[in-house]
Amino acid sequence: MALLAEHTTLLAAIVVVLLSLVLGLFVRRVVLFRMASVATGTPTRADDVLVASLVRPTPLWFLLLGLHGALQIAELPPSMASLLKKVLQSVLILSVTVWGAKVAPRLLQVEFPSGTGATGVVRYATRIVIVAVGGLVLLGSLGVSVTPVLTTVGIGGLAVALGLQETLSNLFAGMQITLAENIRIGDFIRLESGQEGTVDDIHWRVTRIRTGANNIVLIPNSKLAQSIITNFNRPSRDLSVSVELGVHYKSDLEKVERVTREVGRSIMQKVQGGSPDFEPVVHFTTFADSGIKLSVTLRAQQVGDSAQIKHEFIKAITRAYAAEGIPIPSPISVVNVGQQ
């Protein structure tokens, strides 16, 4: 009878483990699949990322749950049962830590595509914090005192910090740039050195900028934090586009101003990237050697549109001036030899 009872207990433990595994596979294939379908129809992408991240660890977590239940059923020696429980608990903590370290940065990236959570340095720091917390929880579950470990890590951290001053300088500079939000992913910036491009990402050591030639410029965060930078996306993405022109001294300036404004309005309406509601500004600026100079101010929705707006405006204003009989003078110099 004792042998039969022992076999029955072992069989029940095996059945619990198998049922837990089958249930985990069912949840992954059916429940998570339906949850993914529902998440696809929501406006946010965070639920899509969260559901997709649960596909791989779900069977493992159900299996661990089943093994824990099997330990409650099986009649094992107390020492062996305690050891197996610690092993299962450790595996669970490790799996949850790895899952959290992977999914948390992705959630930040989809929720804040151009904000502080999207930068590489924040995602990197988030991953480190989750791994550190998971490690401390694991040590606590194994009966290891956390306080001496933290003290040792603190002393060792001081020694490491002395040897990694430049690396830590870039790390903290990257955090400062990210949290200040003066520069964000997707912003078009120009450095004091003349290099310009779109901010691709802010990593823990360098900031990556993609130039118009589709090249990547890597700038150490500490140097970027000390540089003079022009951000063309702050406080707003739209910007003024200035075009310098010249007309003959005998031109009717009232007519010149009227025709120039009409061409500017047309460009703002027709060219993609122009600001349709913006009223072009025309100012006569100076008496030059070859004619009267004027400045025309247009508006682009973003810095990438300014070149096309200039291109189309110059073509259109040349045609309009020719049709209206407004000459555009060539650069010339007149010498009055009769003047005493």
| Predicted local distance difference test score (pLDDT) of residue 174 | 85
Read off the tokens for 213: 């030639």
Residue with the bigger pLDDT between 336 and 289: it is 289
Cα separations (Å) of 313 from 232, 264, 282, 293? 21, 7, 13, 17
Mean pLDDT of 70-91: 83
Mean pLDDT of 201-226: 88
User: Residue 322: which residues within 8 A CB-CB, separation 6 or more?
Assistant: none
| Predicted local distance difference test score (pLDDT) of residue 156 | 56
CB 103 within 8 A of CB 132: no
Read off the tokens for 96: 């949850």
Question: Of the ranges 31-35, 161-165, 175-179, which is most confident?
Answer: 31-35
Question: CA neighbours within 13 Å on the CB side: how many for 91?
Answer: 15
